[in-house]
Chain A
Amino acid sequence: MQPEEMQAIIEGILFVVGDDGISLEKLSQALQQPSETIQPVLDAMTKGYADDPARGIELVCYGNSYKLVSKALSHEYCKRVFDQETPKAFSQAALETLAIIAYKQPITRAEIEEIRGVGCDMMIAKLLARNLIREVGRLDTAGKPYTYEVTEQFMDTFKLKSLDELPQLPDYQQKEEQAEPKDLFG
């Protein structure tokens, strides 16, 4: 199969699957081509859409799922097409809780609360309901607490291909280590 043909087929599939997106594995099954063959085509498409100023859509991959989205530049203009926009936003509390789970997963509620210093049961219920986190398992300790991790929906919401792409946590460690010897021996 020629790369152009593959690209056309993939583009068609991406159009049909819409916001569901599709994984590399599924594409490879569909085209009956090894993923090593598909991957370069996807990469080329991603670059092609992104670099072409005449294209209004781009190919993204969040949480292992490829999908077509409109480019951010069209957003302002879309707003004029439609009268109303209901901006959704996350509360500071929700963002903090999600960040803690993303970096520390799997993590129990008690551990999250220890970091935030406030109760989080309502927040966790909300995030579960929004399908941003899920229960992964239970710890074999007293009370058998649930552990939580972030979902593909989370990856999509925050533009993450995988957890490796999480923003770097600010590092105060060094300063802390410098301060510690002073505390201990000072």
Chain B
Amino acid sequence: MEFTVTIDKFEGPLDLMLHLIKEQELDLFDLDIVKLTDQYLAYIHAMQKLRLDIAGEYLAQLAELVEYKSQKLLPTPPSELDDNYEEDQSALLVKRLIEYQKFKEVSTAFEERFEQRSEMHDKPQSAIASQWVKLDEKYGEADPYALIKAMNRCLQRLQLEQPYEVKVAKPELSVDQRRVQLKQILKDRTEPFTLEDTMRDCTDIYMVVITFLSLLDMIHDAELDFTVKGEVAYFRRRDAEHAA
């Protein structure tokens, strides 16, 4: 049996099973557990081959399915009790699948309603009205969720009151770019130099951080040696060691 493993994210093992049932045209109301288990297993294997992460829930469900399957395949002594047990298990699974399918299906209706609603716009309360609040209500009896609502409202108002954010950004310097710059700056430095020396041309905290990261990189790549005396860090070019 060929499998096309879709990248469609399933919402969980139940979702995957429903997909398989549909794809393999199994009858949900007279579910062939053996067939479903085989398909499910094959799917999990295919996912493994693609090195997709498989959440624990899928494996837990697989274990359950395999258990049902083995119960179904093993010759069981014709005992009343065992028969009932087996029936219960798969009936239970079918029930869960049906229940899940219902909510899965109805959720599209919710999506539609949401889409309709998001094309209808309302406006915030008139600003003046917030100063008219009556304070004769009892304290300590409000719903704590009203606080969340109040906070959200504050944040929304704040956002509305602020002008559109304008940010003048310099092209950001990368560590690699800074390393090239540093090499240029340090080209003629055969003497040890301090951390401050490397940061003389820095205009903001961002550049200071990038410079520091570049130095760390250079130390890592054995281009620089360093030592710390007192509170001052000294650097020396590795290739200057011999030159000096």
Contacts and interface: CB of A to CB of B under 8 A. Distances in A.
B91 interface: yes
Nearest to B122: A19
A157 B11 contact: no
B102 A60 contact: no
A179 B30 contact: yes
Contacts of A37: none
A99 interface: yes
Interface string A152-184: 010011111000000101101001101100111
Interface size class of A (residues with CB under 8 A): 35 or more
B93 to A, nearest CB: 10
A117 B96 contact: yes
Contacts, number: 134
15 contacts: A16-B126, A69-B122, A70-B122, A78-B121, A90-B111, A92-B11, A99-B103, A103-B103, A103-B106, A117-B13, A119-B57, A157-B114, A159-B113, A167-B106, A167-B113
Contact of A183 (B13, B91, B107, B148): B91
A184 B83 CA distance: 11
Interface of B: 11-15, 28-30, 55, 57, 61, 87, 91, 94-96, 98-111, 113-114, 116-126, 129, 145, 148-149, 152
Given A118-B11, A169-B102, A172-B98, A18 B114 contact: no
A75 B103 contact: no
A158 B29 CA distance: 32
Nearest to B90: A183
Contacts of A176: 29, 94-95, 98
Given A96-B107, A170-B105, A179-B30, A19 B120 contact: no
A60 B116 CA distance: 13
Nearest to A68: B122
A88 interface: yes
A172 B101 contact: yes
Interface in A42-72: 58, 60, 67-72
Nearest to B55: A118
Contacts of A19: 122-125
A88 B114 CA distance: 10
